[in-house]
Chains A and B, each alone.
Chain A
Amino acid sequence: MGKYIIRRLLMVIPTLWGVFTILFILAFMMPGDPLRAVLGEEYNRLDPEVIEATRERMGLNDPFHVRYLKFLEQMLRFDLGESQVHEESVSAIIGYRFPRTAQLMIGAMVVAVLIGLPAGIVAAERQYSWVDHWLMVVALIGVSMPVFWSALLAQLVLTQEPLAVFPVAGYEEGSVRHMMLPSLVLGAYYSATLARVTRSSMLEVKTQPYVTTARAKGLRYRVILTRHQLRNALIPVITVIALDIGGLLGGAIVTETVFNWPGLGRAIVPAIMRRDTPVILGILIFGAFLYIAINLITDLAYVLINPRIRYE
């Protein structure tokens, strides 16, 4: 097991390096002059020599490989650099924005689990019944809804008088009331995926010998369902959640723009408009890092929880 953990940790290194390289190449190709973006109108009034000196100082004139090595070295120090527009480090921006995005992601996850898990279990238990059929049709419709559109619909419908319980947009210190609508919208989307995975996972477990044994022992239905089936069926479900963390992050960004939620999405879109390369790159790297970290944790957790999992 120790060997596996070490190998799994080492595997992170080439992945991270690859991500850094691809993102650096993207950033290198980013058009537009960052200095011009920062200075705006003033750019034309400044002495060209001053501008040239600044470029030199910022390392914008260095050749590709020098900038690449500098970039890698920065990454090793966990230094994401400074925003070129605001006098703020990228880590500070992420540190301020991400907790708000995470709050939304967690809220959505709770909603998704509350709806998706029971739906998947019921569908699996009543396989091929009309309940199963319709639950899965609804889930398929659910994954087909663009999040930005369901967010707008929620705003439209839930502002009508009898339904207008929760605020339509805004943040207000992350109050639970303001969190409700965005979490519901994003969570509803994810519950559809979750229901489908839960169903197929439960079906797979259902025919396992240990379930038959449990039944033969005369255990109660509820005990078999929760202790023997659900517990084992959850592993693939969690894997899928972990693998789709990037999708959830993307969904959160879109939801934020509709609900005026001050998370990462509201930092990356303006950064793109102003060609603020370090911020854009920093957020992308952070997203990739989040994915790697969450998948690493789930993989390692499996080994610790389930001794039967052996890797080569």
Chain B
Amino acid sequence: MTTGQTQSSPAPPVALETQRSVTNRARFWYTFRRNRVALVGLLIVVMMVVCAIFADAVAPFDPIEPHYTDRLVPPNGQYPLGTDELGRDIFSRLVYGARISLVIGFVAQGVAVSIGMTLGALSGWYGGWIDDVIMRLTDIFLTIPGLMFLIVWVTIFEPNPITIFLALGLIGWTGHARMMRSQVLSVKEMEYVTAARAMGVKTARILLIHVLPNAVAPMIVLATLGVAGAILAESTLSFLGLGVQVPNPSWGTMVDVGRNYLPTGKWWYAVFPGLVIMITVMGFNFLGDGLRDALDPTQYS
């Protein structure tokens, strides 16, 4: 069926190279634009990012200041999603909550990508015992149940954003490492890499210029889906009462507090934050899935 473009011809001249990447880009846009699910995902992600950045402008109320006269008001014209037990507007709190969730999602994935790509590249490039050790390490990290690892981690280190980034990065890097390793392995023996080595180009430079570009497409897909996973994991942690303690609200914590009011019929408090988590995670999943379809070269042949 397909062997991918990587094995076609030795390094083409520069002009050809740019030409090929232009058609690739055009093809990517063509596929991506026609994928309505992916577009919905992109729309959701952009919307959430805008909410997070311009929270002050989007949110009609202060997310922290209590209004004791308006406690647990059901959704109405003034408070579109109702208020919480301190009379704070749930919609405004959700808008501010986007900051925390998105920052954690993006940064944690950034950590995972950095660890994974570095270890994967080393593993594939050097092979031998380095490869063995790193692959064993990925096995070990795959073996430890992620959620439990997170729970233990936040009891050891205070659950602040930095420790959460690290923890989510530590449980999320294995996929990136494996992908990067296989990318390196597939181009390592190709003529243009051999040529670069023969010319005495430094290893780091070869990896960066000749190997990394091949890994960008699958990395973007993995990372987009990874952001979804990180947001979900963070909200689960917050729901268990082990999340980041900050003045600004976290979505998972809101569901946790809100569930105490479910039995008395105050459904909006727990339902809306959960809905927002779902929509956000869904946005990243839709986008990642669409990107995979559009970037996957095996589909064209």
Contacts and interface: CB of A to CB of B under 8 A. Distances in A.
Nearest to A141: B282
Contacts of A269: 151, 240
Contacts of A146: 232, 235-236, 239, 252, 255, 274, 277-278, 281
Interface string B142-156: 111111110111011
Contacts of B252: 146, 148
Interface in B272-287: 274-275, 277-279, 281-282, 285-286
A312 to B, nearest CB: 14
Contact of B144 (A19, A155, A275): A19
Interface string B110-147: 00000000000000000000000000110110111111
A272 B278 CA distance: 28
**Chain B interface mostly helix, strand, loop or mixed?**
helix
A291 B236 contact: no
Interface of B: 1, 37, 136-137, 139-140, 142-149, 151-153, 155-156, 228, 232, 235-236, 239-240, 242, 252, 255, 259, 262, 267, 270-271, 274-275, 277-279, 281-282, 285-286, 289
B206 to A, nearest CB: 28
A284 interface: yes
Contacts of A135: none
A145 B155 CA distance: 26
B228 A144 contact: yes
Contacts, number: 130
A141 B277 CA distance: 11
A268 interface: yes
A102 interface: no
Given A11-B139, A291-B143, 15 more contacts: A26-B156, A29-B156, A140-B285, A141-B278, A143-B285, A144-B282, A144-B285, A146-B255, A146-B278, A152-B271, A249-B147, A250-B236, A254-B240, A268-B151, A287-B144
A156 interface: yes
Closest 7 CB pairs of A and B: A250-B147, A149-B274, A18-B140, A144-B282, A246-B145, A287-B145, A144-B281
